Amino acid sequence: MESRTETHCPYCAFQCGMTLVREETADGPRLTVHSRDFPTNRGGLCRKGWTAADLLTSPERLTTPLMRDRKDGPLRPVLWDAALDRIAGTIRATQEAHGPAAVGVFGGGGMTNEKSYALGKFARVGLGTPNIDYNGRFCMASAAAAGIKAFGLDRGLPFPLEDIEKADVILLVGGNPAESLPVMMQYFEEQKRRGGRLIVVDPRLTPTAALASLHLQITPGTDGALGNGLLNVLIQQGHLDLDYIARRTTGFDEVRRTVAAYWPDRVERITGIPATRITEAARMLGTAKSVMILTARGPEQQSSGVDNTLSFINLALALGQVGKPHGGFGTLTGQGNGQGGREHGQKADQLPGYRKLDNPEHRAHAAAIWGVEESSLPMPGLSACELLAALGRADPELPSIRVLLVMASNIAVSAPDVSRVQRGLRALDLLVVSDIFLSETAAMADIVLPISQWAEEEGTMTNMEGRVQLRRRATCQPDGVRTDLQVIKAIADRLGRGAYFSDDPRAVFEELRRASAGGVADYAGITWERVATEDGVFWPCPDTGHAGTPRLFAESFPTPNGKARFNPVNHRASAEEPDQFYPLYLTTGRVLSQYQSGAQTRRVAALTDAEPGAFVEIHPGMARNHGIRNGDRVRLVTRRGDATLTARLVTTIRMDTVFVPFHWGGEGCANLLTNPALDPVSRIPEFKVCAVRVERA
């Protein structure tokens, strides 16, 4: 017997449609992935998607709760009731002794909309703690903050994907979709086939940059200067859309004055990009009919991430492109539900529908939906890195987290300056981790809860276009495993708050729709049935008769006066620049065959065969100076620690820069090295640049 289910890939924000086939065989069920002609991926899948069924049958799957009786004791299997009773008992005792804020929650951008919503509500209503944040703070926070400042709204792509292939010129800053969103490349390839041009800004000649008409090989940490420099040249060349600026924006004059200081020779000195190339890029942008500017984690994961992003938004506004077909500004989301995961309340400062936790009207709306007093809702709490810095903290003058619940996140690998985070995790009174595998974080936990995964449960996900789509259940979960929603409800039950929570995803989605109604990310008109039958629906969608909104900003912006805002920004040096002790730049990123912290993909044989372990890319010229050959083991040292990796000599990277992918833990973990310096607005850490020294191991 065979069953076929149309569902979506468990990995990246492209959320490719796929068909999962389940066949009953004498050896048990056999699951295989098949192509599906969904509107976004058009039948395409990358090797991660093709091998995704291996996650469902992995022998490493957790199927029973595990518990440690003492900090230095082993994890042992226990019954669910024993695990849940201890969790609830410890939460109660901790909050009685130290207050509600001593319990923290850390979520993930891969969770469905329903789980993201339920986890945010659980923190505020179930636990009464302000301290919830999630790993999206590590990736999308700068783009989100910049989008809200400029447009009054944050949606990764405020236009449909098809616009990409129709743009005359695309400026892609600090993104490598050929490896991070491989199926998306069909849009860039089609744009090129139609005669369009692509400009890529990246310290590395990545597979994406290799497709470009122009590659600007930027010095890490200088993106904001480039954005200002391009606008300077466009102003000098008279390539602005002055009518658009006057009608649809405010604040241009101050930006004009600011970028006057970014003439090409000066920007060359800051960015390392020849002035002639900056001028050439500006000419391409200024003479095109339609221009699309896309940023990704390169400029965003910096201590000036918001300002960097705003410098490119200023460009798109000055060219009069935002809101027009085939042009505008967008940002490439990374995690599976990177978009929906940041809309419904698992951020430290946020309520569902993109409402704000410190806005009295927004609080009253959420409180009414949840059936609680507005005054009972906590105010915004610690952002992700600040929450992790507070783990087990002894200083009574500063916030301290003593119990931490982690869902869908592997912070023992993915957080910056990860040694410090690991020390904090060890210092907790109780660490609870829900996961499908014994990830590095789960292995440190006092209690591990085995949960169901993508094709074993149903839920909605929102892709980078703002398209809400349905991930269907295609197979059963193993005995002994529960869903995240069941875990949340079970803990809430034991805390006497169970009446506020449901473990049925459809019921949670119905509540989410009501909670988001009237908000920026309005899902009120998006029913479960519509999502299932319409290949997804774009938010905002205020009522069931509304078609959804693939293209935003066509007529006005959701700001008080309906206009977009220019924001003057200046280049700020990275928090840590190379010096005589640490003479090179370190930057981090992704490879094709792994995903995020690797907790899932490192357990898929075909992916591990393709990319078996951590490495560092070094330019041969730099390697020669250090006596390093291809394949040598080398040690990278920063002010936070050191990592040992295999050298990969490539001419595609700047001489002054080394690159380490972040998908591995252990001695090759990139985040042993990275700098937790934060952007002052978005609180994103500076993953993309710090100072490093290279030594032979």
470: left (phi over 0), alpha (psi -120 to 50) or beta: beta
Q: Is 602 exposed, middle or buried (0-12, 13-18, 19+ CB in 10 A)?
A: buried
Does the footprint of ligand SF4 cover residue 12 (CB under 6 A)?
yes
- Residue list 40-79, contact with ligand SF4 (CB under 6 A): 41, 45-46, 48-49
Looking at the Cβ atoms of 186 and 559, the one nearer to ligand SF4 is: 186
In whole angstroms, how close is the CB of 48 to ligand SF4 at the nearest point?
Answer: 4
Q: Is the peptide bond before 540 cis (omega within 30 degrees of 0)?
A: yes
In whole angstroms, how close is the CB of 592 to ligand SF4 at the nearest point?
Answer: 9
Q: Which residue is nearest to ligand SF4 (CB)?
A: 49
Residue 544: closest CA among 575, 561, 522: 522
Looking at the Cβ atoms of 14 and 370, the one nearer to ligand SF4 is: 14
Residue type, 368: A
The answer to whether the beta carbons of residues 322 and 300 sit under 8 Å apart is: no
| Residue in this structure with the two tokens 């959804």, named with its chain if needed | 548
DSSP conformation class of 18? E
Determine the interface stretch with ligand SF4 among 14-22, 294-302, 492-500, 687-695 (rule: CB under 6 A).
14-22
- DSSP per position, 123-192: IIIII--S-EEEGGGGTTHHHHHHHHHHHS---S-SS-THHHHH-SEEEEES--HHHHSGGGHHHHHHHH
In degrees and rounded to multiples of 5, residue 329 shows phi and psi of -125, 135
Looking at the Cβ atoms of 48 and 197, the one nearer to ligand SF4 is: 48
Residue type, 221: G
Length in residues, the chain: 697
Looking at the Cβ atoms of 48 and 137, the one nearer to ligand SF4 is: 48
Does the footprint of ligand SF4 cover residue 182 (CB under 6 A)?
yes
- Which residues are bridge partners to 287 per DSSP? none
Looking at the Cβ atoms of 181 and 421, the one nearer to ligand SF4 is: 181
Looking at the Cβ atoms of 48 and 683, the one nearer to ligand SF4 is: 48
Residue 521: closest CA among 352, 659, 362: 352
In whole angstroms, how close is the CB of 520 to ligand SF4 at the nearest point?
Answer: 26
Q: From the DSSP assignment, how many helices (H) and strands (E) are in the chain?
A: 24, 30
Does the footprint of ligand SF4 cover residue 264 (CB under 6 A)?
no
In whole angstroms, how close is the CB of 52 to ligand SF4 at the nearest point?
Answer: 7
Looking at the Cβ atoms of 12 and 692, the one nearer to ligand SF4 is: 12
- Residue list 546-565, contact with ligand SF4 (CB under 6 A): none
Looking at the Cβ atoms of 4 and 426, the one nearer to ligand SF4 is: 4
Size of the site for ligand SF4 (CB under 6 A): 14
In whole angstroms, how close is the CB of 189 to ligand SF4 at the nearest point?
Answer: 14
User: Which residue in the set 9, 143, 415, 520 belongs to the binding site for ligand SF4 (CB under 6 A)?
Assistant: 9
Looking at the Cβ atoms of 36 and 124, the one nearer to ligand SF4 is: 36
Determine the interface stretch with ligand SF4 among 13-21, 483-491, 620-628, 649-657 (rule: CB under 6 A).
13-21
CA 15 to chain centre: 13
| Residue in this structure with the two tokens 């200088």, named with its chain if needed | 222
Looking at the Cβ atoms of 597 and 638, the one nearer to ligand SF4 is: 597
In whole angstroms, how close is the CB of 13 to ligand SF4 at the nearest point?
Answer: 7
Dist. CA 469–CA 533, nearest whole Å: 10
In whole angstroms, how close is the CB of 93 to ligand SF4 at the nearest point?
Answer: 42
Looking at the Cβ atoms of 181 and 384, the one nearer to ligand SF4 is: 181
Does the footprint of ligand SF4 cover residue 11 (CB under 6 A)?
yes
Looking at the Cβ atoms of 15 and 452, the one nearer to ligand SF4 is: 15
Assign 54 to helix, strand or coil: helix
The answer to whether the beta carbons of residues 321 and 551 sit under 8 Å apart is: no
Residue 180: closest CA among 456, 403, 464, 438: 464
Looking at the Cβ atoms of 11 and 138, the one nearer to ligand SF4 is: 11
Does the footprint of ligand SF4 cover residue 15 (CB under 6 A)?
yes
Determine the interface stretch with ligand SF4 among 176-184, 263-271, 389-397, 484-492 (rule: CB under 6 A).
176-184
Determine the interface stretch with ligand SF4 among 177-185, 241-249, 431-439, 551-559 (rule: CB under 6 A).
177-185
Radius of gyration in angstroms for the set of CA atoms belonging to the chain, rounded to a whole number: 24
Determine the interface stretch with ligand SF4 among 12-20, 118-126, 302-310, 563-571 (rule: CB under 6 A).
12-20
Residues 6+ apart with CB under 8 A from 109: 134, 135, 136, 139, 140, 334, 335, 336, 337, 338, 341, 342, 408
In whole angstroms, how close is the CB of 11 to ligand SF4 at the nearest point?
Answer: 4
Does the footprint of ligand SF4 cover residue 316 (CB under 6 A)?
no
What CA–CA distances, in Å, run from 576 to 85, 104, 681?
46, 30, 18
Does the footprint of ligand SF4 cover residue 181 (CB under 6 A)?
yes
- Which residues are bridge partners to 67 per DSSP? 76, 447
Dist. CA 340–CA 577, nearest whole Å: 35
Determine the interface stretch with ligand SF4 among 175-183, 273-281, 425-433, 576-584 (rule: CB under 6 A).
175-183
Q: Which two tokens stand for residue 307?
A: 């300002």
Dist. CA 182–CA 176, nearest whole Å: 9
Does the footprint of ligand SF4 cover residue 668 (CB under 6 A)?
no
DSSP conformation class of 377? S
Looking at the Cβ atoms of 49 and 399, the one nearer to ligand SF4 is: 49
Determine the interface stretch with ligand SF4 among 38-46, 86-94, 384-392, 651-659 (rule: CB under 6 A).
38-46
Does the footprint of ligand SF4 cover residue 604 (CB under 6 A)?
no
Does the footprint of ligand SF4 cover residue 183 (CB under 6 A)?
yes
Residue 459: closest CA among 487, 437, 483: 483
Looking at the Cβ atoms of 182 and 685, the one nearer to ligand SF4 is: 182
In whole angstroms, how close is the CB of 597 to ligand SF4 at the nearest point?
Answer: 15
In whole angstroms, how close is the CB of 40 to ligand SF4 at the nearest point?
Answer: 9
Residue 219: closest CA among 568, 584, 649: 584
In whole angstroms, how close is the CB of 181 to ligand SF4 at the nearest point?
Answer: 5
SS3 track for 628-672:
CCCCCEEEEECCCCEEEEEEEECCCECCCEEEEECCCCHHHCHHH
Where does this chain bind ligand SF4 (CB under 6 A)?
Answer: 9, 11-12, 14-16, 41, 45-46, 48-49, 181-183
